[in-house]
Amino acid sequence: MAVTPLAALHRKLFDETDGNKFARLKDRLIKKHGMDERRAVLDILIGYAKDGQLLHWRNFLMTDIIALAEPGECGDFFTACLAVPELSYWAVDGMLKSMGKAAYGPLVALAAADGAKSSTRAKAIKSLAIASGQPFDRGLMTDPGHWKPEQLRVAEVLAWQADSYPDGHGFAAPATHASLDDPRTALEKAAAKLEKKLAAERKKDQDLARPSNWLVIAENADLAAIDQRWTLPEQYRRFLARYSPLRVYIDSKRYFQGLHLYGAAELIKGQHGYACNPVDQEVLAGWPVHYVVIADAGADPYCLDLSAIVDGDAPIYTAEHGAGAWRFERHADSFVDFLKEIAAAA
């Protein structure tokens, strides 16, 4: 009897000992057979996750299995994986997709298990937060693998369980200024153009527990602290008040190292290591006292020159870090011009 293409791929997958070749075989299996023979492909991948010879690929396959599985499928497999340290991290999401709220109990137990890996416990808490709309992950890194043990809000999770797992409300989007929808001035138009680009990035990836790539209305306390330290050009001060960057990071050809545009909440801290020592706040030798760092690209600072304010704006200077001495060059004639450049590059 002739061997079917699916059976041939199945055999090759289990026989392969080279990780790169395995990856190509796996991708071919899913691409060619994942739609018409989804259940058979799922069984093959589950079989490999249980008994495959490339141990690291047994873990990597979990995300493919979760993607292929439909709600209600593979619950027993994902539950069993919860007890396998190498597979338990992604088993969390598999259980939630397969079992829905029925997975809450085992995952709460995992979150509270002192003997489990901290990263896996964090994953359980993060995924429970997303599934339930509860704010167990507020303010924490998007990737729970980076959470510290003391950041795990186990007590809150247990209290939620004791209250019979009520649904939460999730997180509201940050507040934005109305002029982004009806820009009129040059500053407003540049900000609106940048916001449009950032919105496209947010559609690809956004975690409102720790929002990123937003232009938001600044907190009054942050603005007050800034005003105590500097008298900023009117245009930049208005930008911070209305369109304060919230974890805005521009990754583009123009900024090949990535550009971090500072918001009101981070502007003062952004001077650390450039204008001042972060420990004692002493001014560092060689730094122009009238320069305020408003962004950096791979640690190369972009600065407003407060000694050259004209018509409510100021030029932007930049320099390479690590050169022994700062050698600044004029980068843009004004902050508004710099913002236009960023918006075009985003």
* pLDDT single digits (tens) 31-57: 999 999 999 999 999 999 999 999 999
pLDDT per position as a tens digit, 220-277: 999 999 999 999 999 999 999 999 999 999 999 999 889 999 999 999 999 998 888 7
Boundaries of every domain in the chain: 5-162, 178-345
Is the pLDDT assigned to residue 29 strictly greater than 70?
A: yes
Nearest residue to 104 via CA among 181, 150, 157, 68: 157
Summarize the confidence of residues 161-171 as an average pLDDT.
Answer: 97
What is the distance between the alpha carbons of residues 124 and 111, in angstroms, rounded to a whole number?
Answer: 6
What is the distance between the alpha carbons of residues 131 and 134, in angstroms, rounded to a whole number?
Answer: 8
Nearest residue to 255 via CA among 213, 318, 176: 318
pLDDT grade, residue 1 (50/70/90)? low
Tokens of 234: 């009117």
Is the pLDDT assigned to residue 20 strictly greater than 90?
A: yes
**Do residues 171 and 209 make contact, with C-beta atoms less than 8 angstroms apart?**
yes
Q: Which CATH superfamily is domain 178-345 in?
A: SMI1/KNR4-like (3.40.1580.10)
Overall pTM surpassing 0.75 (yes/no): yes
